[in-house]
Amino acid sequence: NLMLDALDRDMPDCVKYARPEGGLFIWCTLPENVDMMKFCSTAAQNKVAVVPGTAFMMYPEDKTQCFRLNFSTPTDEAIVKGMKILGEVKKMFI
């Protein structure tokens, strides 16, 4: 819930996602006008790792606007910090 609340707070105009009922990940979708790979690369340059949706595609060259967040490994503090950073990264693209 901490990461979901942070998504609502820090990225409300950017990311669409389904609230999972369990599991370890949140699957997110960026708007069509955002370059997902550049978004993920910029996040990584800012010390926040997100997994590009292409990693889950049968054909990596297929287009996707999705990326995956993991909430099982980071601490609560790291989640809050990381989501704030992602909120700043999204300002470069939206």
What is the tens place of the pLDDT at every residue in 29-55?
999 999 999 999 999 999 999 999 999
Has residue 61 got a pLDDT over 90? no
- Separation of alpha carbons 89 and 24, rounded Å: 23
Q: What is the pTM of this model?
A: 0.90
Give me the pLDDT at residue 56, please: 93
Q: Which of 59, 30, 60 has its CA nearest to residue 42?
A: 30
Sole residue written with tokens 């060259």: 61
**DSSP secondary-structure letter at 32?**
T
- Cα–Cα separations (whole angstroms), residue 74 to 49, 54, 63: 11, 23, 29
**Who wins on pLDDT, 13 or 21?**
21
Give me the pLDDT at residue 76, please: 96
